[in-house]
Chain A
Amino acid sequence: MAALALRAPRSSSSSGGRSAARLAGLLACVLLLAAGASASRDEGSGESNGTGRDPGRVAEPGERDLHPRSNLTAHKKAFPVLSFNYEHVRKPFEISLWILLALLMKLGFHIIPRVSSVVPESCLLIVVGLLVGGLIKAIGEKAPVLHYELFFFYLLPPIILDAGYFLPIRPFMENLGTILVFAVVGTLWNAFFIGGMMYAVCQMAGAQLGGVDLLSCLLFGTIISAVDPVAVLAVFEEIHINELLHILVFGESLLNDAVTVVLYHLFREFSQAGTVTVGDALLGVVCFFVVSLGGIMVGAIYGLLGAFTSRFTSHTRVIEPLFVFLYSYMAYLSAEVFRLSGIMSLIACGVTMRPYVEANISHKSHTTIKYFLKMWSSVTETLIFIFLGVSTVAGPHAWNWTFVILTVILCLVSRVLGVIGLTYIINKFRIVKLTKKDQFIVAYGGLRGAIAFSLGFLLTNNEMKNMFLTAIITVIFFTVFVQGMTIRPLVELLAVKRKKESKRSINEEIHTQFLDHLLTGIEEVCGHYGHHHWKDKLNRFNKSYVKKWLIAGERSTEPQLISFYNKMEMKQAMMLVESGSSAKLPSIVSSVSMQNIQPKGPTRGRAIPSISKSREAEIRKILRANLQKTRQRLRSYSRHDLLIDPFEDNLSEVRFRKQRVEMERRMSHYLTVPANRQETPPVRKVCFEPEHQVYTYDTEAESPRGRAAQTHPSPPDAIGLMNEATPRPNQSSALPDKDETELRAKAPDDQEEQLKLSRCLSDPGPNKDEEEDGSFVS
Chain B
Amino acid sequence: MGASHTRTEPNEFQDLMDKTGFSVEQIKNLRKRFLQLSGNEETISRENLDSIPALANNPLKKEIINAIFDKRNQHESEVGSFQEIGFEQFLMVMSHFRPPTLKTTPEEKEALRKEKLRFLFNMHDTDNDGTITLDEYRKVVEDLLSKSGAIEPATAKGIADAAMLEVASTNVPHMAPDEFYEGITFEHFEQILKGLEMETRMHIRFLDVGTATMRCGRSTS
Contacts and interface: CB of A to CB of B under 8 A. Distances in A.
Contacts of A595: 177
Category for how many chain B residues contact A: 35 or more
B100 to A, nearest CB: 8
Give the interface centre of A543, A562, A593 by most chain B CB atoms within 10 Å.
A562
Interface in B111-127: 120, 123
Nearest to B184: A507
B209 interface: no
Contacts of A532: 204
Contacts of B120: 511, 514-515, 518
A589 B169 contact: yes
B185 to A, nearest CB: 14
Nearest to A429: B212
Nearest to B212: A428
Contact of A596 (B49, B144, B181, B193): B181
A525 B68 contact: yes
Given A505-B192, A512-B196, A527-B33, A517 B144 contact: yes
Given A500-B195, A674-B178, A561 B144 contact: yes
Contacts of B141: 510, 561
Contacts of B155: 562, 565, 657
B175 A596 contact: yes
Interface stretch (A31-39, A478-486, A597-605): A597-605
Contacts of A657: 152, 154-155, 158
A528 B206 contact: yes
Interface in A524-541: 524-528, 530-533, 536, 540
B59 A511 contact: no
B79 interface: no
A517 B33 CA distance: 20
A13 interface: no
Given A511-B196, A591-B173, A597-B161, A431 B166 contact: no
A196 interface: no
Contacts of B49: 525
Interface stretch (B5-13, B50-58, B70-78): B50-58
Contacts of B177: 591, 593, 595-596, 672, 674, 755, 759
Given A511-B120, A514-B60, A672-B177, A524 B54 contact: yes
Contact of B64 (A521, A531, A592, A748): A521
Nearest to A668: B161
A590 B159 contact: no
Given A597-B134, A748-B165, A592 B172 contact: yes
Interface in B190-207: 192-193, 195-196, 200-207
Given A433-B102, A517-B58, A672-B177, A522 B204 contact: yes
Interface in A486-527: 500, 502, 505-508, 510-515, 517-527
Interface in B124-152: 133-135, 140-141, 144-145, 148-149, 151-152
A570 interface: no
B145 to A, nearest CB: 6
Contacts of A505: 166, 192
Contacts of B200: 431-432
A11 interface: no
Contacts of B158: 565, 657, 660-661
Contact of B151 (A432, A500, A502, A562): A562
A524 B166 CA distance: 33
Given A519-B202, A520-B58, A591 B154 contact: no
Contact of A592 (B145, B162, B168, B196): B168
Interface in A578-610: 589-600
B159 A565 contact: yes
A431 B203 CA distance: 9
Contacts of A506: 159, 162-163, 166
Interface string B75-113: 000000000000000000010010110100000000000
A559 B192 contact: no
B173 A540 contact: no
Contacts of A589: 169, 173
Contacts of A502: 195
A762 to B, nearest CB: 12
Interface string A42-61: 00000000000000000000
B191 to A, nearest CB: 10
A559 B163 contact: no
B213 interface: yes
A559 B58 contact: no
A557 interface: yes
B196 A508 contact: yes
Contacts of B159: 506, 510, 561-562, 565
B19 interface: no
A514 B165 contact: no
B140 A530 contact: no
Given A521-B55, A657-B155, A514 B144 contact: yes
A467 B81 CA distance: 76
B176 interface: yes
B212 A507 contact: no
A732 interface: no
A517 B59 CA distance: 7
Given A525-B68, A526-B94, A595-B177, A511 B161 contact: no
A621 interface: no
Contacts of B154: 657-658, 661
A746 B165 CA distance: 13
A427 interface: yes
Contacts of A517: 58-60, 144
B165 A592 contact: yes
Contacts of B204: 519, 522-523, 526, 528, 530, 532
Nearest to A532: B204
Nearest to A517: B60
Contacts of A599: 133-135, 180
Contacts of B181: 592, 596-597
Nearest to A665: B154
B64 to A, nearest CB: 4
A630 B133 CA distance: 41
B59 A526 contact: no
Interface of A: 427-429, 431-433, 500, 502, 505-508, 510-515, 517-528, 530-533, 536, 540, 543, 557, 559, 561-562, 565, 568, 589-600, 657-658, 660-661, 672, 674, 746, 748, 755, 759
9 contacts: A505-B166, A506-B159, A508-B196, A524-B54, A525-B64, A540-B57, A592-B165, A598-B134, A599-B180
Given A507-B163, A510-B140, 11 more contacts: A508-B193, A511-B193, A515-B120, A557-B148, A559-B145, A562-B148, A592-B168, A596-B179, A600-B180, A657-B158, A660-B158
Interface of B: 30, 33, 36-37, 49, 52, 54-55, 57-61, 63-64, 68, 94, 97, 99-100, 102, 120, 123, 133-135, 140-141, 144-145, 148-149, 151-152, 154-155, 157-159, 161-170, 172-181, 192-193, 195-196, 200-207, 212-213
Task: For the complex of A and B, list the 10 residue pairs with the smallest distance between their C-beta atoms, beginning with the closest.
Answer: A559-B148, A590-B169, A524-B54, A521-B64, A590-B173, A428-B213, A661-B154, A592-B169, A517-B60, A592-B168
